[in-house]
Amino acid sequence: MRIISGKYKGKRLVAPKKLPVRPTTDMAKEGLFNILNNRFHFDGLKVLDLFSGTGNISFEFASRGVEDITAVDSFPGCTYYIAKTASELRFSISTVKADVFKYLERTPEKFDIIFADPPYSFDQSQFLKIADLVFEKGLLEEDGLLVVEHSDQTDLSNHPNFSEQRKYGGSIFSFFQKEDE
């Protein structure tokens, strides 16, 4: 895994092999961040990284200047690795060891970007539940964006807040926004 842009461009990070993760590929990550670069100025953003795994996406945001990142994962080895690496790189990433669905139910915070990379083996209803909770709980800022990574076996385009999807290799990013009133 490597950071593809920003302050730590090219830095390789080696996560412990025993973590139960499937990190977003460099090709997919580069495509995603090209889209986000065209929509957002990273300074001042508040980002939530759900099912954060190795912290791959959190580290990319941090390297690009985002200073308010929350990484949520239920596996203690993941949150430990992210916190340790963030400290070494002096990144402002808060880690939360929690079930993502319970976290979404409870958090009072709002975010500019919420990124979710749940296990591809999730049932389609579990993917849709992420989007449902984000919008029911009002967790996005006015022009905020929810991005959900999934395989081509999952179709999230029926969700009322779905706006578009992009495919990079075996990964698909579905984008969700608040409906225009």
Q: Which residues pair with 150 in a beta bridge?
A: 172
Distance (Å, rounded) from C-alpha 77 to C-alpha 124?
A: 26
CA distances from 121 to 33, 124, 126, 150 (A): 24, 9, 10, 9
User: How many domains does one find in the chain?
Assistant: 1
CATH number for 143: 3.40.50.150
* In-domain check, residue 3: no
Give residue-wise pLDDT tens across range 62-120.
Answer: 999 999 999 999 999 999 999 999 999 999 999 999 999 999 999 999 999 999 999 98
* In-domain check, residue 95: yes
Give residue-wise pLDDT tens across range 135-157.
Answer: 999 999 999 999 999 999 999 99
The answer to whether 124 and 112 have CB atoms below 8 angstroms apart is no
Side-chain-side CA neighbours of 145 within 13 Å: the count stands at 19
Give residue-wise pLDDT tens across range 10-63.
Answer: 999 888 888 778 778 888 999 999 999 999 999 999 999 999 999 999 999 999
- What single string gives the DSSP state of each residue in 63-94? HTT--EEEEEES-HHHHHHHHHHHHHHT--EE
* In-domain check, residue 167: yes
Among 78, 81, 80, 58, residue whose Cα is nearest residue 70: 58
Among 146, 178, 181, 139, residue whose Cα is nearest residue 165: 146
* In-domain check, residue 134: yes
* In-domain check, residue 12: no
* In-domain check, residue 22: no
pTM of the predicted model as reported, rounded to 2 decimal places: 0.95
Is it the case that residue 180 has pLDDT exceeding 70? no
The DSSP output letter for 27 is: H
Identify the domain containing residue 114 by its residue range. Answer: 28-176
* In-domain check, residue 6: no
* In-domain check, residue 90: yes
Among 66, 24, 41, 19, residue whose Cα is nearest residue 168: 24
